[in-house]
Chain A
């Protein structure tokens, strides 16, 4: 049974979060072990609720949801090698690493540079998210494999940028 089937919705990338939450609450009321008096039923309810919770956790998060759909459709969403810098980011990454090295050497002059890098990356991620939303909607319109391949490309890029943002969050 797929996570979408648990919620009785067709596989889709652009889900209505409100609707999903509503379904989650309704299903929780139906399945939850706390509402079962019979211990044998309770054990079954615990299993069923675990599946429901796992499904909700994945489907409520757009990125986890998209990765789940990719896996369902037979795409390999394994570890992406973070050493493969997307070519258009080469220069940015180089500068970021320089700034980080300076900081490590105790040169706080690089801090503003880091902050502006962080903002730039955050901006890129926001743009990516908008684009992802568009691709999500497109795939929901017509489930074509090429579109999923595009989604995968965007997700990999997003993961890379998220790692970069994490790098810029240097504790002071």
Chain B
């Protein structure tokens, strides 16, 4: 709760993509992509566990897709923040090896170990972190990470957890299309309406923004978190597998090694088709050779419905933004799949504008993330992003209906307050179910979390008044707090995420990585805990000079002093848990103090404004 200023150096921007990931930083007022030690800017989002137990990431891991498909995973972004029931369709198309104990949290099998999607993503993030540290010759502990604009709360939390497991403080999750607009907007127009069409490896986003003297205000966003280049690859793959079965009489679709080799070969053909009217799929397998020419015409017939699926979200987005195609001044293309000529022409027809393609569509998101990192650390001035929440937030009410409390496309941070009461005399707890989505029935929306308002003083039914505040923060992540409207006292709530990891689970994963010999991570955890400790200690130091401190009871003050001493005792140890436990204890004991100061400060902030 209490924190002091952090230093501003080396905040990097990371595009954690389905197919490739990139890291960028601000270099003399311009964002630059940081290449890996192999010289490649793109780090393939592939992770492999070698038989010796080492984790490898990127280009080297991509080779392992063919050599050790059972120890290697790609496109893990498709599994982030999802339960096993959500991914049944993906499992038919992707060779994910799901561990049998997967339920609301999926575990992926790599050889003899299992990992959650955030852990796999953390391996990619740590590769990027190391690349950045090598290039900048300094430790990197803070990052801005991009997510698809249409990612729901659980998917966002999973991404933030991945950062945490990787030893990165995630200063902000930024929506990918918005990041792209930032990258483009650097020295561009002062005013105007921009549409960003982002078709990546696994996700599709459309965002419409209004630009005004450095303010990037997102008017509306829409999309599909399961639509992208992977789907196109799968179409080509299916054709090739069918051909091979009829030519050779072999069904290769269950041979991981063959499928991965063939996938690589069809992707080559797909990429070539963006620049030439026809391309060949060439596939060699155990002495046999398969060849097939794909013309652009055939390719376009094959993918037409995929391209068409992007158009309805675009129209809905324009409607929500209250703009017509004529009002859109610029269109920006993002994502490797926008290199496909058919995609480009579909966008041109829809928006009646020639899209921008000056920046590399693979790099533009990471560049924008670096700009946002610059805004947050103060090195980029006069620019400000105002983003929106992509999905409505609702609570389940009588009859299983979802009552919307924060509507989609609301500018974030956004909040809503609801008052709850009891239905039975003497009832001491109330269970609340929070969902995300546009459907009328709660069961048709995405279950987000359930929380229990506990320890309500027993009273006749309808008498208690518990005010719950829902705050969607600037990351698009929901925070819930509750207080008793009569006493003003904070009400304890027990939040159960429907699909996410709890803090304890995330901590356990960090411990597991450390137990597997990761000393960097151990050091990063201790350093992070000490920074956190510095913040709270300094903040309390300041608070002791305030009226709020004087207002505390004597024994509360002495408890706080004891907790401070405890934190100082463990501070220099190598056990980050001891430090974080002491911080938590201190946080808990200073809750009342912090609240008093916060209330005073919010009021002052709002009152002190002059336009």
Contact B384 A35 (CB under 8 A): yes
A12 at the interface (CB under 8 A from B): no
Contact A8 B609 (CB under 8 A): yes
Interface stretch, picked from B301-309, B406-414, B494-502, B562-570, is B406-414
Contact B414 A54 (CB under 8 A): yes
Chain B residue, CB-CB nearest to A40:
B3
Which of A35, A42, A50 touches B471 (beta carbons < 8 Å)?
A50
Which of A23, A39, A45, A56 touches B611 (beta carbons < 8 Å)?
A23
**Interchain CA distance A56-B412 in the complex, whole Å:** 11
**Interchain CA distance A40-B6 in the complex, whole Å:** 10
B385 at the interface (CB under 8 A from A): yes
B419 at the interface (CB under 8 A from A): no
* Interface membership of chain A positions 19-54, coded 1 if the CB is closer than 8 angstroms to chain B and 0 otherwise: 000110111111111110111111111111111111
> Could you show 8 A-B contacts with beta carbons less than 8 Å apart?
A1-B603, A25-B212, A32-B384, A34-B376, A35-B375, A37-B377, A39-B4, A47-B602
Q: Which residues of B contact A (CB under 8 A)?
A: 1-6, 8, 172, 212-213, 215, 217, 372, 375-378, 384-386, 410-416, 471, 473-474, 535, 539, 598, 601-603, 605-607, 609-611
A134 at the interface (CB under 8 A from B): no
Contact B6 A37 (CB under 8 A): yes
Which of A6, A35, A43 touches B598 (beta carbons < 8 Å)?
A43
Chain B residue, CB-CB nearest to A46:
B413
A57 at the interface (CB under 8 A from B): yes
Check A39/B5 contact, CB under 8 A, given A26-B611, A31-B609, A46-B474: yes
Contact B386 A47 (CB under 8 A): no
**Interchain CA distance A39-B539 in the complex, whole Å:** 10
Chain A residue, CB-CB nearest to B600:
A44
Q: Which residues of A contact B (CB under 8 A)?
A: 1, 6-8, 22-23, 25-35, 37-54, 56-57
Contact B414 A53 (CB under 8 A): yes
Q: Is the interface of A mostly helix, strand, loop or mixed?
A: helix
**Contacts between the two chains (Cβ within 8 Å), count:** 100
Contact A53 B4 (CB under 8 A): no
Which of A6, A25, A51 touches B415 (beta carbons < 8 Å)?
A51
Q: Is the interface of B mostly helix, strand, loop or mixed?
A: mixed
Contact A29 B384 (CB under 8 A): yes
Chain A residue, CB-CB nearest to B378:
A37
* Chain B residue contacts of A45, Cβ below 8 A: 605
**A133 smallest CB distance to B (angstroms):** 18
Given contacts A6-B609, A46-B474, A56-B411, 18 further A-B contacts (CB under 8 A): A1-B606, A6-B606, A22-B611, A25-B215, A25-B217, A29-B384, A34-B372, A34-B376, A37-B6, A37-B8, A39-B535, A40-B4, A42-B3, A50-B414, A51-B415, A52-B606, A53-B410, A54-B416
**Interchain CA distance A41-B598 in the complex, whole Å:** 9
* Chain B residue contacts of A6, Cβ below 8 A: 606, 609
**Interchain CA distance A44-B59 in the complex, whole Å:** 43
* Chain B residue contacts of A56, Cβ below 8 A: 411
* Chain A residue contacts of B372, Cβ below 8 A: 34
* Chain B residue contacts of A51, Cβ below 8 A: 415, 602, 606
Chain B residue, CB-CB nearest to A6:
B606
* Chain A residue contacts of B3, Cβ below 8 A: 38-40, 42-43
Contact B413 A40 (CB under 8 A): no
Contact A48 B602 (CB under 8 A): yes
Which of B410, B539, B605, B609 touches A57 (beta carbons < 8 Å)?
B410
* Chain A residue contacts of B609, Cβ below 8 A: 6, 8, 27, 30-31
Chain B residue, CB-CB nearest to A23:
B611
Which of A1, A31, A42, A44 neighbours the largest number of chain B CB atoms within 10 Å of its CB? Answer: A44
